[in-house]
Chains A and B, each alone.
Chain A
Amino acid sequence: MAHSGPMTDWRKARLPVIAFLAPATIIYTLFMIYPLVDSIRLSFYATPSGGEAAFVGLDNYRTVLADPDWAATFWNSFWNNMKFFAVHMLIQNPIGIALAGILSLPRLRFRNSYRTMMIMPTMLSVVIVGFIWQLILSPVWGVGADLLDIIGLKSLFGPWLGKEGSALITLSFISVWQWVGIPLMLIYAALLAIPDDLVDAAVVDGATHFEVFWHIKLPLVFPTVAMVSILTFVGNFNAFDLIYAVKGALAGPNFATDIMGTLFYRTFFGYQLQLGNPHLGATVASLMFLIILAGVLFYLFAVQRRLSRYQL
């Protein structure tokens, strides 16, 4: 950052400074930081039926991670979540980067219209998106098969959302369809910041537009690509709405689409005959927190430090 930092000594304005900072800090602390910390605290307690909450150390973690009833569910949701994330990294981000690269080509007409339309799904509620695709992929309606017919692939159509083998991957693709707008927007903005001269210089050096993108633009926006990746990671390991809207809290068929978010919800609120358990819910949330934290720390210390942001 180029700016020189705050300049005015606060001792000349103690009251205003406190008044400016207090409201935001208090609400943020009370409704964000305190619950996060308290959730972690709660994960070390348990409430025996009819009794008071008591400290149980790591018992809840042992239950979730190693108890035969729980561990399979937990690890199933964890690996499902990893697959969910992998699809986003391998499909969503490359498509977003490629589209951003194309949109930033010099002298492209209708640039803004394309961009506006491509980002539209990102603006919709995840729930709405889930239902839209549920309808389109529904064998009852059959419009999905009709659409595949146009490109001659009707035979491939099946009840993808209902099958154990394909439900998760289908939901991942629906999520990719919705969220492509994020890498698209952020990387497009980063590409726009690259000076025209640099691109011209590469063109004069003999580079084709693809080579300019590959050798010049992409390396220069790599910090943004890394940031998009960590945002994807956090978003994916925090996802819930899509699965809940399309498959319900049980994340069927047979937990094939269960991810951390749905597991957290079920644990916390219960489902069908099983009662919810706030302490185990807090334990699952704390584990999600650890996973996200690990990702963020990896990004901050292993990735971001090694990337130099070039002054353009």
Chain B
Amino acid sequence: MSFKNIRREDASRAVIVHGILLTYTLVALYPIFLVVINAFKTRKAIFRDPMGFPNAETFSLEGFTKVLAKSNFEVFFYNSFTVTVITIAIVLLLAAMAAWALSEYKFPGNTVLALYLAIGIMVPIRLGSVSILNLIVDLGLINTLTALVLVYVAQGLPLAIFILTEFMHQIPKDLKEAARCDGVGEFKIFFAVILPLIRPAVATVAVFTMIPIWNDLWFPLILAPGDGKQTITLGVQQFIGQYVTDWNAVLASLSLAIIPILILYLIFSRQLIRGLTSGAVK
């Protein structure tokens, strides 16, 4: 582009716009960044030069060694991972089935059932905690990961059903009618034709299900606070409560909780945004 064709107002506006965006990006990222770089420093360096990068002299992994020695981080990870993955799998399957039935079949009470299942989008499941605890105790599931999975499935279903129902309305009629004309059974239509088609929505639903579960403190605290069953969020919370004055250990434990999420986020952020902008959520 020849220089004279650039509008001056455009150029100055670009400076302002990028200035604002950069400033906010810095505000959003710098605190996280600060914690992560200091996790790799000696105790002295953390206090003497908190904003500096770790260098040959100040680099230290003592925080991480301590965390891994004094707590069961790998167990916390395993617990969080297990709970999250199993929950997502169950939510996706059950929500897809329900969404399919709601969007495809005319039956009495269809709308009422859809509304009933949507209540949970707005009403937080936490408010039922007193009875959930009683129920889990009665079922003998206290301090188990199963208890968390059951509650999280119930928590994840409403939004997942809602998103997938909207999505399934967009599946062309011809597809299922062609299958019916070929005499394919209703179960097979769902599992062989519909399930593969909803893949674009799966990423969105998975992310929306995953984040609140992975980050939750409340239910691990109430239902599975015991030794060896803590999730990563609860584990970090308990560990920091215990070693609050050990800065190396605190920073290292926070970094251990942050880094996997950041990596996952960077991998999936594209799908997340695409899901959002494709109108799956209104």
Contacts and interface: CB of A to CB of B under 8 A. Distances in A.
A302 interface: no
Interface string A224-240: 00000010001000101
If over half of B's interface residues share one DSSP class (helix, strand or loop), that class is named, otherwise mixed; here it is helix
A147 to B, nearest CB: 8
Interface string A122-149: 0111111001110110000111001100
Interface string B98-137: 1011111111001001001101101111111111111100
Given A16-B186, A21-B101, A281-B130, A120 B273 contact: no
Contacts of A115: 273
A245 B237 contact: yes
Contact of A143 (B13, B17, B34): B34
A185 interface: yes
B145 interface: no
A120 B28 contact: yes
B250 A7 contact: no
Contacts of A289: 123, 127
A124 B212 CA distance: 9
B251 interface: yes
Contacts, number: 273
A82 interface: no
A23 B89 CA distance: 14
If over half of A's interface residues share one DSSP class (helix, strand or loop), that class is named, otherwise mixed; here it is helix
Given A33-B119, A177-B27, A186-B281, A268 B124 contact: no
Q: How large is the interface on A (under 10, 10 to 19, 20 to 34, 35 or more residues)?
A: 35 or more
A212 to B, nearest CB: 13
B153 A292 contact: no
A186 B126 CA distance: 24
Interface in B167-185: 169-170, 173, 185
A32 B125 contact: yes
Q: Lowest 8 A-B CB distances belong to which pairs?
A: A35-B128, A125-B215, A31-B154, A35-B131, A20-B101, A10-B107, A38-B131, A16-B186
11 contacts: A9-B106, A27-B157, A31-B151, A32-B154, A36-B123, A102-B20, A120-B262, A146-B50, A238-B127, A264-B129, A278-B133
Interface of B: 13, 17-18, 20-21, 24-25, 27-29, 31-32, 34-35, 46-47, 50-51, 94-95, 97-98, 100-107, 110, 113, 116-117, 119-120, 122-135, 150-151, 153-155, 157-158, 161, 166, 169-170, 173, 185-187, 190, 211, 214-218, 221-222, 232-233, 236-237, 240, 247, 250-251, 254, 257-258, 261-262, 265-266, 269-270, 273, 276-277, 279, 281
Interface of A: 1, 3, 5-10, 13, 16-17, 19-21, 23-25, 27-28, 30-36, 38-39, 42, 95, 99, 102-103, 105, 108, 110, 112, 114-121, 123-128, 131-133, 135-136, 141-143, 146-147, 177, 180, 185-186, 188-189, 192-193, 209, 230, 234, 238, 240-241, 244-245, 261, 264, 268-269, 278, 281-282, 285-286, 288-289, 292-293, 296
